[in-house]
Structure 1
Amino acid sequence: SLISAEIPDALLDPLGYALVSEFMMHGPCGEMNDKCVCMKKGVCSKYFPKDFRDATVIDDNGFVLYRRRDDGRSKNGHFLDNRHVVPYNMAMLKKFQGHINVEWCNKTQVMKYLFKYVTKGADYSKVMLERLKKLTKSGCRRVDEVQEYLICRYICEYDALWRIFGFEIHFKMPSVQRLTVHMPGMNTVYYRAGADLTKIVGSDFLQKTMLTEWFVANEMFEEARSLTYCDFPIAWTWDVKSRSWHPRGRGEKIGRVYYVHP
């Protein structure tokens, strides 16, 4: 496995044992050291020590529970065994010889977290929340929300430059076009409350959808017949106002069809 959460055998891998013992052990915390920085309300905020486990598994929430065998290995000085090992990659640990926490991420939500992490600003040592009030002319106290925001909000230098240069905070590339799927005459129609339903039902314009106009484009243009409905947005763009497909002039987009139950 590329990721491990166990102490190597000191005889088989003395360097690995020394590095893991020095850099990748969490604690001591809990009953051994209730003053540890990870302790919050009497328990470890990082949920150490972990449970012993014979194999790496995925829990019901999609998180990884690493193998931590009860093999009797521990760190000298404190009884820190495999339950206290921070997951690591041995190749990286031996190359850089420092604390490098390596995790197996199998959830799509982590990508946005990692991508936006560089724009979060410097770490905080203390945070203070204070209710600021000002006296108005009538003698009433008014909450100064602007000043509260300025005090609690911190923008570091590289965070400010990121915005000054107009860099993207997050984006999706390429763009995705959701393609509607429906039976004949059963497309979704949006209308305002109080609208004349007779006109809505009899409107030919509202009966036009991406799917129906894809058939129309295939009838009118020979070059449109080489693409499937799902691949159509690659070379064609959907005009919402006219409800029709037109050859794409710039950019790129991929199509995704809505899930259809059997």
Structure 2
Amino acid sequence: MVVDTRFESLESPTDDDITRWFSHKKVGKIIDAFRYVDQEQKEEAAARAKANHKTTFKVVSKVQGDIVSWLFDSDLKKYGSLKRISELHPSYTPLEYPLFHPIGEDGYQVNILHKNVSSSSTAARKKVTMREFFVYHIQDRPKSFSTMLNGRRLFQQILVDKYTIIEAQRLHFICGKQHELRCDTYQTLRGMQSGGNIDVSTAGQRVILPSSFTGGARYMMQNYLDAMCLCRWFSYPDFFITITCNPNWPEVKRFLKDTTLKSEDRPDILCRLFKLKLDAMIKLVKDKSLFGMVQAVVYTIEFQKRGIPHAHICIFLHPSSKIHNPKDVDKFISAEIPNKDSDPDLYKLVSDHMIHGPCSDANPKCTCMRLILKVFRYVSACEATWRIFAIDVHYRLPSVMRLAFHFPGEQQVIYGANEDIEDILNKTTNASSMFTGWFECNKNYDLAKSLTYSEFPTKFVWKKQLRKWEPRLRGFAIGKVHVVPPAFDEAYYLTILLNKVKGPECFEDIRTVDGVVCESFRDACYKRGLLDDDKQLKKQVILLPDII
């Protein structure tokens, strides 16, 4: 990458400095070339309109040899039609944003290796991802002027553009893998083998969009159910707090004081500062006991109509710090406007940030009157930056471990479409699961026999590579059995029992009541007195308003 050293001595370039730099002979030649293309397209469009016939635009930029020499020679060629350039092509970004790449330096390409990593390395991840590449290029560096970071609205545009490309590549990767991977139960594959069918390429179903894909429907639902699990464990939250990013924070003004930029021109700074303040607030609440002893915290990040981030926080207090009467509420919450004379600082904060100004007919240009933004989904520059930086949009403490379960022999098996069925069934990892590992652990540890399945993660850790449970040495986690609606019959009754039965060593032990093995999980529930009234059904209705 070539850096113009004339800017190294400048603390912060002014608009005149930037204009002079773009007036440089070489850069001016590039801009003239693009102006030439634009003018020729306009002239051809006018000629076609006059002739009253339809044809495609002919003028595009064709690169022959080195892109730098092509740009400086202004060697423009013509095609018969427009050509699409892949987002992974090194010239894609320079051609789309020539002001940010005035000498045509390459953009992202798929074969860039990580630092100190060779192509023969055995590292799991050897190559730089598109997200990592772009994050590297939007960093502030001392004594180096970045055209991109001073691009104002064009910088916001490239942030949103790159985020959408990154997301598209992730979806493309998942879609590509779905052609290779399939999912079915272990029992079904055993049946196929017994019947002489060894072709697994048509069996099972393709893996759908995983719950780990941020923003997906399964991702949102799983996080919602995890939050409900915290409610079940710690009761209802005691505080609901919203913290919003303020573009006029003193830190933002200090950072931009020697520039001509506005706060909205640097969404990367707004996101980083908001994350720092959010983490500081969570630490203050959790470690400093601002509202009392805290047991759990969960928050989610959203983006306002103006595009700036805000967080919705739920705080669960320890029973000794719970709010029991109105006087306890008054210690933390005030619904009155502070006195302007006795507390001017607090009055200013409330009047500036917590009082909604006139709107409707009195002020039709008010932010809340932008109805179009309520109808359409859009991605702001701040949201794009937040996701490019890979900052979590959901946080919870303690962690919630999702506990899978299944009927005998019906654990899910992931396999390649071209794998041999014998190899699939002979893998010991496919024959075992987290659920059956619970049975094995109950055989080996006395402590395990005193815990239900949902309580198990508080004392044990699932080792995915070893496919077994081991005693927990540090930390704390809550278990959440996957929720099943009553319409699923036996699976629903099994979930009820998994929250009651302790220390089973096999499926029969779960159905055993007073030494008698019941024929079904439903019968076991009735015999234990778990279905004598509608309390369990009401509990499911509360936990599953979006599923039932």
Q: TM-score, normalized by length of structure 2? A: 0.21
Please identify which structure carries the higher helix content: 2
- Larger RCO of the pair (alpha carbons < 8 Å, separation 6+): 1
